[in-house]
Amino acid sequence: MKKKSLTKEEIIHLAKLAGLNLTDKEVEKYKIQLEETISYIENLNELDTEKVKPTSHTTSLTNVYFKDGQQNENAFSLSAVFRNAKNKEKNYFKVKKIF
Amino acid sequence: MIFGKSILSIFKLIKKKEVSGKEVGDYFLKRIEKYNSKINAYLTVNDDYKTGRIYKSDKNRIKLPIAVKDNFCTKGIRTTASSRVLQDFIPPYESTVTKRLIDAGFFILGKTNMDAWAHGSSTETSDFGATKNPWNLSRSAGGSSGGSAAAVSSYLAPVAIGSETAGSIRQPSAWSGVIGLKPTYGRVSRYGLIAMGSSLDCPGPITLTTEDAAFILKIIAGNDKFDATTVKNDVPDYNLSLKKKNKFVIGVTDEYLNGVNQEIQNSFDVLIKLLKKLGHKIKKIKLLSPKYSISVYTIIQRAEVSSNLSRFDGIRYGNDRTYFGSEAKRRIMLGTYVLSYGYYDAYYKKAQKVRTLIIEDFKKVFKEVDMILAPTTPVTALKLGEFEKYPFFGEMMDVLNEPAAIAGLCAINFPFGLAKRDKLPIGLQLMGRWFEEENILNLTYQIEKETDFLGVIKKGISNYPD
């Protein structure tokens, strides 16, 4: 099995994309584990899939639309919406400054 | 009087007024108090049971106890998915599965332990401690629905709800020696189930008898306007069709016996002899090696995990992303990688193509056979601690469960004997065609009537007397 290698920078970049703060130790650990897993999953290349269509779902599905003007039975009251929020002010969620 | 009774038997006792709903509820509370600290099956016991409030409202209604995996949103009852991110989350709504159970007369006894976010096959990734296997407390109960399987096998609940992405109902049921049914994808609503792999997730019952599995499936199955992936197919009366003495053509394949422990293979052989004696036909079939399923599953599931867990930002509910455990972070990282620019075609799209091959492979085989018989797991319950040593050991342990999950098939685990070496339950499974739960339930029922599953379920419960 050919071993796939990732750089430390790639791991840090992935963590940033995923919104995770990793310690140096975690970066090192996930680098090794990701390399190992990715090397394994490359066994799919043993199968010829050139003419195969990718699956999008396993049962025949059709779109379901919400009709205009239809009542949303599961709409929450404001108190239910805010009940689990850790940081709120009046009827707003408080978040960190982005800009 | 209640000890060891199936939920259908309890239902009949209550209807005949031989026992009251409150007596049943108090009985299970007492057992939970006595044994749960040893097994760690439950994370939360419903306060309304403890205070007796459930018996005061709607007095004429029958109230049956059921344990529910902690990734189903239950209105007003803490729901954590065994993660500290959600350690104090109180859902403002009821999942469709629990809503249908409540409407049918059930009342949630408690919420059961699981691998955090259902990531794992041992409940060891739970932020609230592993669930112990009731057969041997130094062993894993399996996972991710380990709490639900352990609760049923030690009779801390007469029946439980689990969820499966690839093995999470069948594998813990096999290791804990009970029945676990994974319905066809789309048969049961995922609304209110904390999502892991959305194209794979499926709720299902964990029970002591085949009749109970049929009974619960009938209640929870069916189209749901809140889950667009549920199908409109009619829900048959599964209990009625159990009684037919159908004859089936059953496929067996060497691909599913590679690396399987010899004692499990022996059980498999004993069952094949019995099935022939009962008039069923056994047919050798050839399937794609399940080793490709490990890769397809790892890619698709990690991709869906990274997308599904992105909503946990700690703003509207729960804690922020620093609360994720190591397994969730590892999965998010790999999922982000396989979906990222430049790698999408090589991994995610490739996996979805091989998924098509796996589905076509099953379709071909199901032209010749009605269902497939295989072991559920390659080994009996492992010692606690074995899993953390490897980055995707769970996927290896679930190798015999992944193909059916990837294809969206229905499948059922039932116990069939104990291994002599470690005295732990052996689980075998039947995988059926899409939406043919009736057939796999029917054959499981025939096996139950003929063998009582070699006494495994009763023996398991007898380890935990009143």
CATH of domain A1-44: 1.10.20
pLDDT tens-digit profile of A4-16? Answer: 889 999 999 999 9
Yes or no: say if B194 and B145 are a contact pair by the CB < 8 Å rule.
no
Provide the β-strand partners of residue B160: B67, B206
CB contact (8 A) between residue B292 and residue A47: yes
pLDDT tens-digit profile of B122-160? Answer: 999 999 999 999 999 999 999 999 999 999 999 999 999
Distance CA B79, CA B343 (A): 35
Task: Provide the ipTM.
Answer: 0.94
Query: Measured between CB atoms, does B318 come within 8 Å of chain A?
Result: yes
Reply yes or no on whether B168 is catalytic: yes
Query: For chain A, what are the domain ranges?
Result: 1-44
Going by DSSP bridges, is the β-strand pair B249-252/B371-375 parallel, antiparallel, or unpaired? parallel
Q: What percent of chain B stands above pLDDT 70?
A: 99
Distance CA A8, CA A14 (A): 10
Q: Which two tokens stand for residue B310?
A: 């992105």
CB contact (8 A) between residue B333 and residue A18: yes
Q: Which of B120, B11, B108 is nearest to B66 (CA)?
A: B108
pTM exceeds 0.95:
yes
Question: Can you list the domains of chain B with their CATH numbers?
Answer: 7-462 (3.90.1300.10)
Chain B residues in contact with A61 (beta carbon < 8 A): 186, 228-229, 231
Reply yes or no on whether B82 is catalytic: no
Chain A residues in contact with B350 (beta carbon < 8 A): 44-45, 49
Q: What percent of chain B stands above pLDDT 90?
A: 91
What pLDDT is attached to residue B58?
78
Yes or no: say if B43 and B113 are a contact pair by the CB < 8 Å rule.
yes
What pLDDT is attached to residue B309?
97
pLDDT tens-digit profile of B374-403? Answer: 999 999 999 999 877 666 667 777 889 999
Count of residues for chain A?
99
Helix, strand, or coil (residue B132): strand
Position B320, amino acid? D
